[in-house]
Chain A
Amino acid sequence: MKLTEIVDELGLRVAAGSGHLDVEVTGGYTSDLLSCAMAGAAQGNLWITLQGHLNIVAVASLNELAGVIVTEGKPVSKETATKAEEEGVVLLLTPLTSYEVAGRLWDLGIR
């Protein structure tokens, strides 16, 4: 499934990387620990996390993730969004919990 469709289905707000939504999502990963995301998330995955600070951009970029969904309405700082834009990393925001986002993605067939 394409990232654009997921953005529409879940009503996600695109905080950065709007030019990189036309990609196929290969799976998902949930953790708020950066080391776990580094080791556990695979290329093309969506990473669901509560972390909204600058360092999620490096993890997403190094891992070539399809994007990061920051949950529970947590805001991302302007510098985080700017950095993500520079690195071509997609940042998506939602008021939903990580649990609910993972469930909805699973229902959409992202496994």
Chain B
Amino acid sequence: MSPSEVKKAQELVYELKIGDIMTRQLISVTPETTMREVKQLLRDHRISGLPVMRGDQLVGIVSIENLIQALEHNDLDAEVNRYMSSLVHTIGERESAVRAINVFSRAAVGRLPVVDEGGRLVGILTPGDITRGVLRALEQAYHEEELRKYRVRHVFEDITSDRTSLILRYDIAVRDFTRAGSASSQLKQTLVRLGVDPRIVRRVAIVSYEAEMNIVIHSENGGNLVAEINPELIAILAYDSGPGIEDVQCAMQPGWSTAPDWIREMGFGAGMGLVNIKATADEMYLDSWPRRSTRLEAVIYLKPGEGKTSNETDGNR
């Protein structure tokens, strides 16, 4: 397991409920059952212990260890109440698995009877149940992500039209530096699930991040980031309603920026945003009407050979 999987397993131990991982066992014996019958039940059901019930009430546990004691004394006709362990520990079905781990590590027991809120026996929990439960939940989490990827990848196959595109729109708030970059992160995650080549994903991430940050930093009222994905290309469109760029030619020069000092102090406004987009995308179009709006479109081709390779787009150092 990688460290991140170990961490996930630790989280699961807190999330998993006893009721979801226990063995729902309905077989039980009474204090008057003979140890010989216990031996037969353990063998038939391939289990290592049984709850002992008097009517509705749980009075003990008889385990394979108790059976060995009875065998040593050649005492198989004895009643269960002579050899059973009188009950000390139970656990609630709605408690988390981590509670059971604590009980197992402190008390020398190999199984815990599980009770509901009314104290009625509903199942049995062994350390093996916890391991199996965690593994099953880990596997399920993995499958869910794989299934999500599979579904997204087959979107285009299942839709018939002459040209199909997926359009993702993101609203970008102005000067919101706590959420800045989240549109690009979501777009990137979607592309990964679509199975897009990681080198393409990286280029789209650079373009969308720079375009997103331009709106965050420079727009008057925020703007929109739109990504159109089709089997041939990914087009990123970023637009806002002003203030517009006074001199587009200047704005395309490396190092030219109108960002205020406080934004520059954060490491933005280096005057490299548009330059990076141009260097990274296969095509870029910038239209701006001063005091009115700015519209930026960048295209990245998906098919090999049509676009730039990642080696060519090493930006501007």
Contact = CB atoms under 8 A, between A and B. Distances in A.
Contacts of A67: none
Contact of A62 (B6, B181, B273): B181
- Chain B, interface size category, equals 20 to 34
Given A33-B267, A49-B267, A55 B3 contact: no
Interface string A54-89: 111111011110000000000000010000000110
The CB with the most chain A CB atoms within 10 A, among B4, B279, B314, is that of B4
The CB with the most chain B CB atoms within 10 A, among A54, A57, A87, is that of A54
Contacts of A55: 177, 180-181, 266-268
B249 interface: no
A68 B6 CA distance: 23
- Chain A, interface size category, equals 20 to 34
B317 to A, nearest CB: 5
**Which applies to chain A's interface (DSSP): helix, strand, loop or mixed?**
helix
B178 interface: yes
Given A19-B4, A19-B7, A62-B205, A33 B272 contact: yes
Interface in A12-46: 19-22, 32-36, 38-40, 43
Interface stretch (B27-35, B103-111, B182-190, B282-290): B182-190
Contacts of B7: 19
A40 B317 contact: yes
Contacts of B198: 43
A62 B188 contact: yes
A25 to B, nearest CB: 15
A97 interface: no
Interface of A: 19-22, 32-36, 38-40, 43, 49, 51, 53-59, 61-64, 79, 87-88
